[in-house]
Amino acid sequence: MKTAVIAAISLWFASTASAQTPRVPPDTGFILHEEKAVDRFVVQRWVSAANPEVSPPGFCECMTVVYEGARQVLEEHPDDAETSRCAALGPALGLFYTGRVAQGQALFRKLYRRPDARAVERKALEMARASPLWIAL
């Protein structure tokens, strides 16, 4: 009986350990910022060790990885141009449209460093200035 109990406990510990969420950086130079359980998923946000700052609204140079147990089900990577462009434009456009262009440019340049950054910034400003929602200060 004692052997059966020990075997059952050993088996339980082995299955629990194998189902634990990995804490392996999704890319070199990233460190774990936070981890949250959402239903049966674990969401990890990894930030760049070179720029670990996360702004109050949650913008950062980061990667998000979602696990279900030990199985990775989703990864949002900053190398995805469309994702990183949209993530940087969102907060910058809010500043552009309220007339805080210099602040918007500084934020966009901090968040988006791809080769097309200047062209994207120029086009965003052109579109914002042509909009009836534009507020010039």
pLDDT band at 15 (very low <50, low <70, confident <90, very high): very low
Please indicate whether residue 79 or residue 109 has the higher confidence score (pLDDT).
Answer: 109
Give every CB contact of residue 111 below 8 A, 6+ residues apart in sequence.
59, 61, 84, 87, 88, 91, 92
Q: What is the mean pLDDT of residues 60-76?
A: 86
Could you give phi then psi for residue 77, rounded to 5 degrees?
Answer: -115, 140
Could you give phi then psi for residue 133, rounded to 5 degrees?
Answer: -85, -5
pLDDT at res. 6: 42
Mean pLDDT of the chain: 79
- What CA–CA distances, in Å, run from 63 to 27, 57, 69, 125? 9, 16, 19, 27
Report field, pTM of the whole predicted structure over 0.75:
no
pLDDT surpasses 90 at 88: no
Q: What is the mean pLDDT of residues 96-109?
A: 90
Quote the percentage of the chain above a pLDDT of 70.
80
CB atoms near residue 92 (< 10 Å):
28
Q: What is the mean pLDDT of residues 15-30?
A: 74
Q: What is the mean pLDDT of residues 57-86?
A: 80
Please indicate whether residue 109 or residue 59 has the higher confidence score (pLDDT).
Answer: 109
β-strand pairing of 62-68 with 41-48: antiparallel
pLDDT at res. 13: 39
Please indicate whether residue 56 or residue 120 has the higher confidence score (pLDDT).
Answer: 120
